[in-house]
Amino acid sequence: MMQAGQKRRVLIVNAYFDPWRSASPTRLFVPRAMAPYYLAGYFDPDLVEVKVWDEVFHGALLNRRLLEWPDMVVFTGLTAAFDRARQLAAYCRHFTPQVVSVIGGPIARALPALCDQVFDYTCQGDVEEIGAVIEAVFSADHVADRTAPRFDLTAPTMGVGYLETTRNCNFACSFCSLSGEGRAYSAHSEASIDGQLGAMGKAFGVMVLDNNFYGNNRSSFEWRVGKIGERWRQGQFRGWGALVTGDFFKRPENLKLMADNGCKALFSGVENLDPAVLRTFNKKQSLASDPLSLTQACAEHGMFFDYGVIIDFAQQTVAEVDDQVSGILSDPRIPLPGLLSLTIPIAGTPYFDEAARAGRLMPNVLLSDLDGQKLVEWPQEPLEKVTPFLRDLLKFRGRKMALSRHAFRHAWHWRKHLGWEQTVLSAVRPLHRFGGNFGLGSPRQMRQSFREPALTYSVMTDTLRAAYRPLHRLPSQFAKDFEPLRVTDETGALSDQFLEARSGASSLTA
């Protein structure tokens, strides 16, 4: 029973299963998940106390007091984290039966029918939809008059501020969840961008969170660059970075415009060094995205270049991937990729549907297996050859000396074109990314990590992670909340459970 004048209590959780099976925080990963902080901005701070827990940044949520605390718990996260969100909702319901559970983001859009069954409210739209939930559960008075993100809740920030100027993407890469959702690319209003910049305050650097900062509207792009550049010239931050698609680099004047307005880093999804693979991804905008030429073009304008690489053993051999990685390590001019992942058949994407039709999915794939760090599709070569190679590649085992040597040689090579911060970043980033995670967290988190079964890098041999065993004694009615969602059955066909989970679509189901 709430007392008069008592604030409502809302917990917002970014649910996450660490692919390396660590329960400890990943503090240095950039960018951080910002959806919880944007959601928090919709609650009136005078009437609602909001707490945020990001299982990437803060580590696994194992604190019973926090799970007992809220009147409302709001979940977001990537699609593969559905099981984790369901587990946390079960804990909250057990400790506080009257708690209201809400889910949104990619999970809700990919699995609407199942989310309707598990959670009290399912939001398939953008963060603004939480306003209707607040009004329905509490009252209209509990919705904030001004909905600026609650960046004050992000501490510690390590000097990095975050900004979103557009939503979605104007391309349709077959493996991207945005392609499956099919939502239109759009730019934020000037009031929204100004509100975010105001809430951010002074920062060392700013990371623009857009899926595609460049977009398909030239005037909008130039205006947004100028808007950020104005704040940079005023001294709000020392520089900023953004993600752009490959077509951005086809106009050299784009680089000059960004550099003149304080941009210090660009990330672009090179994705794969084989044009044939890129075509199967419908990644035509990256066919000319050679990492060396893009690195050089950025460096000449004083910008650090970063990129991601996706490996597809259904189309590539071990020898081909090994040659590509060795080629990068042998050339200090080319940066190591900031992201190295297997192709992920994300539920709802064209790539997933094609993989399912072609029979490429392995038997007994769980939704939580789709994290890009284990084999879930049949490779073209035997598993006993591919799996150990993948295990070593993702952690650069046997290449640690080459990794360290390349990182420092790369930073030294481009030092005259970059500032000291960028030079340090170019040396440290690959060491942090591939050198291994020390797994420092709370005693409870480290104990949870110790309980984890070893990762085998193949869905054919992997066992359930420790989170599927409840930490607390729960009544039998919650047993189903700790059962994994199976994508494929023992034959490799899509499971009935998964097909039912994908069916139906409704918004704001109470």
Mean pLDDT rounded to a whole number for the chain = 91
Q: Name the pTM for this structure.
A: 0.93
Number of residues that make up the chain? 510
Do the beta carbons of residue 367 and residue 484 sit within 8 Å?
yes
Residue 1 has pLDDT above 50, yes or no: no
The answer, yes or no, to whether residue 391 has pLDDT greater than 80, is: yes
Identify the CA nearest to 162 among candidates 197, 199, 213, 207: 207
Predicted local confidence at residue 437, as pLDDT: 66
What confidence score (pLDDT) does residue 158 get? 79
Give the position of tokens 């090579």.
Answer: 413
> What fold, for 159-344+396-434?
TIM Barrel (3.20.20)
- The CATH number corresponding to 8-142 among 3.40.50.2300, 3.40.50.300, 1.10.1060.10, 3.30.360.10 equals 3.40.50.2300
Is residue 54 left, alpha or beta, with left meaning phi > 0 and alpha meaning psi from -120 to 50? Answer: beta
What is the pLDDT, as a whole number, of residue 5? Answer: 67
pLDDT band at 510 (very low <50, low <70, confident <90, very high): very low
Asked if pLDDT for residue 398 goes beyond 80, the answer is: yes
183 exposed, middle or buried (CB, 10 Å; 0-12, 13-18, 19+)?
middle
Residue 183 pLDDT class (50, 70, 90 cuts): confident
CB 270 within 8 A of CB 307: yes
Taking the C-alpha atoms of residue 293 and residue 288, their distance in angstroms, rounded to an integer, is 9
Structure confidence at residue 285 (pLDDT)? 59
pLDDT tens sequence across 399-432: 999 999 999 999 999 999 999 999 998 998 888 8
Q: Report the pLDDT value the prediction gives residue 3, as an integer from 0 to 100.
A: 54
Mean pLDDT, to the nearest integer, of 162-174?
Answer: 90
pLDDT, residue 509, reads: 39
pLDDT digits (tens, 9 = 90+) for 323-369: 999 999 999 999 999 888 999 999 988 899 999 999 999 999 999 99
CA distance 133 to 43: 11
- All structural domains of the chain with their residue ranges: 8-142, 159-344+396-434
156 preceded by a cis bond (ω within 30 of 0): yes
Give the confidence band of 284 by pLDDT, cuts at 50, 70, 90: low
DSSP three-state, residue 48 = strand
CA–CA distance, 329 with 315 (Å, rounded to integer): 22
Specify the pLDDT at position 283. Answer: 59
What pLDDT band is residue 100 in, cutting at 50, 70 and 90?
Answer: very high
* Percent of the chain surpassing pLDDT 90: 78
Q: What is the pLDDT of residues 493-502, one digit of tens each?
A: 999 999 998 8
Cβ contact 190:76 at 8 Å: no
Residue 287 binned pLDDT confidence (cut-offs 50, 70, 90): low
CA distance 446 to 29: 19
